[in-house]
Amino acid sequence: MKTLFVPVVLALTLAACEKSAPPPSAPPAKQGAAAPSPPPPPAKELARIPPKSAWPFLEAAGATPPGEAFDPSAVMKRNYYVVFDASGSMDERKCSGSERKIDVAKRALLQFAQLVPPDANLGILVFDEQGIHSLVPIGPLEPATLRRAIAPVAPGGKTPLAQSIREGYRALTARARMQLGYGEYHLVIVTDGEATGEDPRGVVDRLIAESPVVVHTIGFCIGDKHSLNQPGRTIYHAADSPQALEQGLADVLAEAPTFHAAKFK
């Protein structure tokens, strides 16, 4: 019995030691070898990682702040916002035959509104003798509504392009919040002169750097030497006749945007 007892006790003791001993450590990595990748986060954590976006407001916790409207039926809509120059120089008749430039530009804008697809949004801002003001808020628009709104606009005042572009950018940003940043966004500037006061290039630089908004400028009777003519950054049309002005606005609808949904992936 004694000879059997000792080996059995010894075997049980060794087995217990093997169970309690810590697992052998992994051999040290070879010098120059890449460290092993950390395990992926759980699915719930992945869902909280924000998508990459060109709109600053999407970098916040929520794309739509409390109280902000969201339009799920129009999330991929195209949006056009026109900054319309009705400054004092638009009372001239240069490049417009026997008509005033303001009358030619009004007619071109009405024609543009008729060409905008019915499922797109259109808004108009004007600067004239009354200063900068919204003519038509951005949204679905009937040409008849624009006709009534633009009829009383009279030329006068200066050319505050910088502030007008800033206001247009705000309007498009508000629309982008309703569409969670998806869709197309076009700022269309119709002007017959350079800015007075603040240089608009700084505003355009910020707009291009932090948003997918495409900037189009139709320079009416001013050639192509304009501060907003920035090849590779903005789209510029020189319009030296009523027909060229109408065509420049029509081309806005055909020009490809720089925004793609892939930016959000």
What one-character-per-residue DSSP string does 166-187 give? HHHHHHHHHHHHHTTT-SEEEE
pLDDT value at position 138? Answer: 95
Q: Looking at the domain assignment, is residue 160 inside a domain? A: yes
Number of domains the chain is built from? 1
Q: How far apart, in whole angstroms, are the C-alpha atoms of residue 99 and residue 126?
A: 20
The pLDDT, as a whole number, for residue 218 is 97
pLDDT, position 62: 54
Instruction: Output the pLDDT for position 18.
Output: 44
> Is position 17 within any domain?
no
Residue 171 forms part of a structural domain: yes
Residue 68 lies in a domain: no
Confidence (pLDDT) at 141 = 87
Q: Is residue 1 part of a domain?
A: no
Decide: helix, strand or coil at residue 245.
helix
Let me know if residue 248 belongs to a domain.
yes
pTM: 0.74
User: What does DSSP assign to residue 264?
Assistant: G
Q: What are the structure tokens assigned to 190, written together?
A: 């119709």
Residue 7: what pLDDT?
Answer: 38
Show the tokens assigned to 32. Answer: 């120059």
Q: How many CB atoms lie within 10 A of CB 188?
A: 24
pLDDT for the residue numbered 73? 73
- Amino acid residing at 237: H
Closest CA to 245 of 60, 109, 50, 126: 109
Residue 237's domain comprises 78-264
DSSP conformation letters of 38-93: PPPPPHHHHHHSPPP-SSGGGGSS-SS-TT----GGGTT-EEEEEEEE--GGGGS-
Per-residue pLDDT of the chain (265 residues), as tens digits, is 444 433 333 343 334 444 444 444 444 444 444 444 444 444 333 333 333 346 888 765 455 555 556 667 777 899 999 999 999 999 999 998 889 999 999 999 999 999 999 999 999 999 999 999 999 999 998 888 999 999 999 999 999 999 999 999 999 999 999 898 899 999 999 999 999 999 999 999 999 999 999 999 999 999 999 999 999 899 999 999 999 999 999 999 987 554 333 333 3
Assess if residue 18 is contained within a domain.
no
Is 208 part of any domain? yes
Q: What is the CATH number of the domain that holds 104?
A: 3.40.50.410
Q: Which candidate, 197, 221, 100, places its Cα nearest to that of 153?
A: 100
pLDDT of residue 255: 78
Residues 6+ apart with CB under 8 A from 203: 162, 165, 166, 169
